[in-house]
């Protein structure tokens, strides 16, 4: 049941991305071009998503488990640190250069073409680089702790 629900939610999300134009890099870049030929249509998509989230979130917070019985786990950190800022900047630069963010890029793979493929390869490479750096940092921290202790 959970797999079917995940499939249906993913299909609905993908169809929403297509219908809203989020899979069209030129439309996204037009939205991001505030100084040029700005296309405000995606602002309505984002506003609609925020509205749905704002209405649903209070109900979600009152539930101990999701509708399918999964534990609801929310981030506990409210700290704005270097990692968060650098991550946000990296995401924004990638979005601005390519006109894709991860979800629409994956949906766009179905259209074919080189741009979504190159973006997804770069995204996976970035995720792998992050994982390698995090493991190296963790290893250094453990070794430093052993040397002190």
pLDDT given for residue 149 in this prediction: 61
Q: What predicted TM-score, i.e. pTM, was given to this entire model?
A: 0.74
Confirm if 101 and 93 have CB atoms less than 8 A apart: no
Which pLDDT score is estimated for 116? 92
Mention every residue, 6+ apart, whose C-beta is less than 8 A from residue 45. Answer: 20, 21, 22
- The CA distance from 115 to 120, in Å, is 9
What's residue 3's pLDDT?
Answer: 86
Q: Which residues of the chain have pLDDT under 70?
A: 146, 149
* Distance separating alpha carbons of residues 143 and 23, to the nearest angstrom: 45
Give the per-residue pLDDT at 125.
Answer: 94
């Amino acid at each position: 049941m959970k797999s079917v629900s995940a499939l249906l939610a993913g299909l609905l999300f993908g169809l929403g991305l297509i219908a809203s134009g989020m899979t069209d890099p030129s439309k996204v870049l037009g939205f991001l071009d505030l100084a040029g030929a700005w296309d405000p249509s995606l602002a309505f998509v984002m506003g609609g998503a925020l509205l749905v989230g704002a209405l649903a979130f209070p109900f979600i917070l009152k539930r101990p488990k999701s509708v399918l019985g999964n534990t609801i786990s929310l981030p506990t950190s409210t700290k704005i640190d270097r990692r968060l800022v650098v991550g946000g900047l990296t995401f924004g630069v990638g979005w601005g250069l390519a006109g894709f963010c991860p979800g629409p890029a994956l949906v766009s793979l179905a259209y074919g073409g080189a741009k979504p493929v190159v973006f997804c390869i770069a995204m996976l490479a970035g995720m792998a680089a992050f994982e390698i750096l995090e493991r190296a940092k963790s290893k250094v921290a453990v070794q430093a702790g052993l040397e002190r202790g």
